[in-house]
Amino acid sequence: MQLTYPWFLLGLFAVAVPVVIHLLQLRRPQRVLFTNTAFIREVEMVTVRHRQIQQWLILLARGLAIVALVFVFCQPFIPAEKETKLLAKSSAMDVWVDNSNSMQVRTITGDNLLQEATAQAGLLGRGNRSISLRLLNVGKKAGSYAEYENGLEKLKLEEGNGVFRGDIVDGNAPFYLFSDFQKSFFSAKLLDKFGSNRQVVLVPLKGKQTANIYVDSVWLDDAFVRLHTNIGLHIRVRNGGQADAVDCQIKVLLATRQAVAFRVSVAAGKAMTTVAQVRLDNNAMVEGQVILEDRPVTFDNTYYFTLQPAAAIRVLEIGDEPVTQQLYGNEPLFAYSFAKNGNVDFGLLKQANLILVSGVQRVDAGLREALVSAVGRGASIVIVPSAAGSARASYDLLFKTLGLGTVQWEENAPNPELREVDMPSTQEPFFRDVFGAQQRAVTMPRVAPVLRWSRTGTDIMRLRDGESYLASFASGTGRVYVFSAPFAVAYSDFVEHALFVPVMYRMAMLSYRNEQLPAYRLDQGAVTLKLPPAANVASTAGRSDEAAFRMVKDSLTLIPAQRVAGSEVHLALPEAMNVPGFYQVRQGERLLTTLAFNANKRESELDAYSADDLRQLLGSSHPNVRVVEGGADGAGLAADSAEQTGTPLWRYFLAAALVFLLVEALLVRFGRRSAAAGQGSAVGGVAV
């Protein structure tokens, strides 16, 4: 047996206190004259002998109680049989308690995993108060057991920050990690940063098998969101638990109004997608929520998203005469502009979503460079070639610059032969939702192609003989649509055909790009936003606090690292941004947009490693890592602690002190009764 605090042995001098009290209580007997004292003397001798034995026993019990209490303060323990490295090099101990949201899972006792983890972490160092403990969740400073216990009591569930990331590896003290060890987060590579000399103890905590429904993703049928029109909102939910989820209620809120409600049943580890029909009534951005009624794991029951009605699609037609003015100009969905070749407003061209080059006689260098820049930023270009032979050289250069390669031109003919266009396939994504459920035989347009292209693109419309009439090519981040025949009456009647309107509308719709996603993840690092012209000017005017971009959520204001490049701003998400919800992006007092952020969906996958799984995962590659099974009673952790640091004995001495005090009380109580009985017998004898 060894003592943790041997200097408390000085308290053994306190044993002298009851001895002194005992000696002071001894009194010299008084002589009393009485007739016929022979019988009384015999009784007195018996009583005095009994009192002496009782007083010695009481003195012994008091002394042993004091000795036991002194040893309680000395903290005695039996050293471990075998010497280990755990406490050989350090008198400190590092502890990390996983307080991520997955620790919300219930255990068989009804508590959650975090409560069980803090209870078991509190067992460390309780038997040996000389060890300094460091709870890394709250700081890197070691302290007393009382400070350590106070830190454990303050631990709460956090969004993602509670997950051990392997970046706290300083020091040589033994390291205890309490966690559920989710398979989506934990890997053996996290332990490589500790090296091979530091002892690491993994304490896995096991919860009850439960279902956990969460929203995996939300997306729309079309990026072009129209007002007063049903929008297909795709909601993909997944069950990240180990039990099946049955009849889970899901509600979709747009602002404060409930738009949709339905129920789903999802098997464990499976996912399903539901399409909810929603409608927007005004041009304001709508903050939406998908709320699930799923217990007991509730941290991921709300998914945030935004819906922004599409702005008008900017269409710019360049040519000799406007061909699509009535098509786009009379529709409020489009902002139509026309410019003659040689008199193009390049400011409008830089903002246009769809640029139609129709029958231009010559594509000059300025226009060519502007078109290349437009597809580079994601715009769409529609090229309707000219039949003039003088225009071919400039078109060849344009096609080559756009990456379409070389084209082959048809010989000019005074009366070109018109060929019929084939009926488009309903399987072609371009014509999705254009045709009805039943197709009828219709007369198709007739055209006379003037060019063929060598590069293989996506054929949208073909002639009956297999040649391409309308094809789509990827260029930069945008797309280029090329017609093989001019719109002139001599070469095509497509402008007068019923297909003309849906085809041109479809190209304009596909040219719209929503720069803002419905939802983002808190851990994605950064977001890139398209700046409105006024904000772009303000951002380049100066780097004052008023010009800086801020992210605001309720009373929380964060200033992210930011970089403005042209009409875009790149915002790095701050580490303090860890709460899901809606964040306003502001520049000074001006509200630019609102972004919806959600937690990492890996946290919702509750599948975790057991103790046996961890041992198999570690194998022999980490000899300094041990796995200790956790439990509601902490028996495994207590046994491991006893094996490594020895068996504490202070509780046994405390029990002994209480027993000796009880013995003293019993001796005093029953000793008085015995003395009283003896005195009664003596008096009775005299009376006789």
Q: What is the mean pLDDT of the chain?
A: 83
Which positions ≥6 away from 101 have C-beta within 8 Å? 157, 158, 159, 160, 162, 299, 300, 599, 603
Return the DSSP state at 402: H
Amino acid 476: pLDDT:
85
φ, ψ dihedrals at 118, nearest 5°: -65, -35
Q: Provide the pLDDT confidence category of residue 526 given band limits of 50, 70 and 90.
A: very high
Q: Is the pLDDT of residue 679 over 80?
A: no
What CATH architecture does domain 213-310 belong to? Sandwich (2.60)
Amino acid 83: pLDDT:
42
Amino acid 547: pLDDT:
65
Mean pLDDT value across residues 523-541: 70
Q: Is the pLDDT of residue 76 over 70?
A: yes
The percentage of residues in the chain with a pLDDT greater than 90, rounded to a whole number, is 40
What CATH architecture does domain 92-206+606-645 belong to? 3-Layer(aba) Sandwich (3.40)
Give the integer Cα–Cα distance in Å for 605 and 199.
Answer: 29
Mean pLDDT value across residues 498-522: 89
Bridge-based pairing of strands 132-135 and 92-97 is parallel
Q: Is the pLDDT of residue 329 over 50?
A: yes
Amino acid 71: pLDDT:
83
Amino acid 85: pLDDT:
44
Q: Which of 402, 391, 409, 387 is nearest to 341 (CA)?
A: 391
The residue that leads in pLDDT, 226 or 209, is: 209
Amino acid 268: pLDDT:
94
213-310 and 313-511, same CATH topology: no
Q: Provide the pLDDT confidence category of residue 549 given band limits of 50, 70 and 90.
A: very high
Q: Is the pLDDT of residue 244 over 80?
A: yes
- Tens-digit pLDDT profile for residues 280-315: 988 889 999 999 999 889 999 999 999 988 888 999
Domain ranges of the chain: 2-79+650-687, 92-206+606-645, 213-310, 313-511, 520-598
Q: Which residues of 622-660 are buried (b: 16+ CB within 10 A; e: fewer)?
A: bebbbbbbbbeebebbbebbeebbbbbbbeebeebbeeb
Phi-psi region of 75 (alpha: psi -120 to 50; beta: other; left: phi over 0): left
Q: Is the pLDDT of residue 29 over 60?
A: no
The percentage of residues in the chain with a pLDDT greater than 70, rounded to a whole number, is 82
**Of 110-124, 189-203, 236-250, 485-499, the least confident:** 189-203
DSSP string, 232-259: EEEEEEEE-SSS-EEEEEEEEEETTEEE
Q: Is the pLDDT of residue 269 over 70?
A: yes
Q: Is the pLDDT of residue 194 over 50?
A: yes
First vs last Cα of the chain: how many Å apart? Answer: 62
CB 642 within 8 A of CB 628: no
Amino acid 682: pLDDT:
47
Mean pLDDT value across residues 568-593: 91
Q: Provide the pLDDT confidence category of residue 636 given band limits of 50, 70 and 90.
A: low
E runs forming strands in 463-576: 468-475, 478-483, 520-521, 526-530, 549-553, 556-558, 561-565, 568-572
Mean pLDDT value across residues 457-479: 91
Superfamily the domain 313-511 falls into: Class I glutamine amidotransferase (GATase) domain (3.40.50.880)
Only one residue has tokens 């409600």, namely: 261
Amino acid 51: pLDDT:
67
The residue that leads in pLDDT, 541 or 574, is: 574
Amino acid 287: pLDDT:
95
φ, ψ dihedrals at 579, nearest 5°: -110, 125
Q: Is the pLDDT of residue 513 over 80?
A: no
- Tens-digit pLDDT profile for residues 381-415: 999 999 888 889 999 999 999 988 888 998 877 78
Strand order in the sheet with 76-78: 2-3, 76-78, 647-648
Amino acid 436: pLDDT:
55
